[in-house]
Amino acid sequence: MSIQFIKKRRRYIFYFLTVYILMIFFWWWFMIFRKDSELYRIKEQLLYEKYDDNHSNIFKEVELLSDFHERQRWMIIGEGATFLILIVLGIWKLRDIVKKEVGLVGLERNFLLSITHELKSPLSSAKLNLQTLSTRNLSSEQQKMLIHNTEEDVARLNDLVEKILLASRIGHANYGAQQDEINMSDLMLACIENVKNRNADIIIQQDIEDEIWVNGDELMLQSMVLNLIENAVKYAPTNSPIVVTFKKKDSLAILDVADDGVRIPDEEKLKIFDRFYRVGNESKRTTIGVGLGLFIVQQVALMHHGNVKIIDKSKIGKIFRVEIPYIGAL
C-alpha cells in the first residue's frame, strides 16, 4: 500500500468526518433556536389566556418574558459560538495529528527501506569476498584486496550500528553528555584524517585553530564532527573540495563544514534534523544513509549548549555551522 494512497484515504475520511460533525452541530444549534422560539410563543399565549386583554399586568409580563427570551437567545448564541470555536480548534489539532501520523508512516517506510539496503549491501559484499577467498586460489595481492574490502564492509556496518545505538541513547530522557575537558582542535584533525583515510578521492581543505578546548563528551563530539563531514562527502560533487573550518568567535567555538552540493530547500531545512528524515523518496535514492546523521549532529550540539544551522553559500552549495561554548569564554 503506497504512502500516497494512505494519505488520500485518511484525508478523505478526515474531511468527511469534519463535514459531518459541523453539519450535526449546526443542525442542533438550529433546533435549539427553534425550540426556544416555540417555547416563547407558548408562554406568551398562556399569558394572554391568563389575563384579559385589558388587564394592565399583561403588558409588563409580556415585556419581562420578551427580555428573558432575548437574553436566552444571546446565551445560546454565545455558548454555540464557544462550542464552535472549540470544535474548530479540535479539528485543526486532529488534522495536525493525522498529518504527523502519515508523516511517521512515511519516515518508517523510508527507514525500513534504507536500513535494509544499508545492512544488505555490506553483508552481501563481505559474504561474496569470504566465499571467493575460501573457494579460489588467489594471489597474495588479490587476497589482501578482498580482505581490505571485507574490513571496509565490516567498518560500514559498525558505523551504522553505532549511529543507531547513539540515536537511541540520545532519545532517552535520562541520558546525558559527560563533561570532560576536550581539545576540540585535536579531535577535529583526527576526524578529518579518519574521513580522508576512508575516502581517498575526497578533497578536504581545513583551517583549524589550535588549542580550542570545550567541556563535553568526546565520543558524542567525535560522532557529531564525523557525521557532518561524511554528510558533505556524500552530497558534494566529484572533485569538489569540502572546506572545514574551526575557530573561536566571541564566546563560541564555531565549526563550519562547507560543500558545493545542491542546496537544501528552505521548507526542508528544519525537517532534515528529524530522526530518520531524508529528503526525497527512499525507493529512488542513490546516496547511502538511514537519516540519523544530522539528527545526531543537532542533538549533540544541543546537549553541549550549542546549536546547528544551515547557511546558503553566496553562489552554490551550503554550510553546516555548529556553535558551542568553549572553555574560558566569558
What is d(CA 246, CA 152) in angstroms, rounded to the nearest whole number?
A: 29
pLDDT of residue 114: 66
pLDDT of residue 251: 86
Are the C-beta atoms of residues 91 and 21 closer than 8 Å to each other? Answer: yes
What is d(CA 24, CA 28) in angstroms, rounded to the nearest whole number?
A: 6
DSSP state of 272: G
pLDDT of residue 113: 63
pLDDT of residue 167: 74
What is d(CA 195, CA 202) in angstroms, rounded to the nearest whole number?
A: 9
Point out the residues of the chain with pLDDT beneath 70. 1-8, 10, 51-57, 102-118, 171-177, 278-290, 329-330
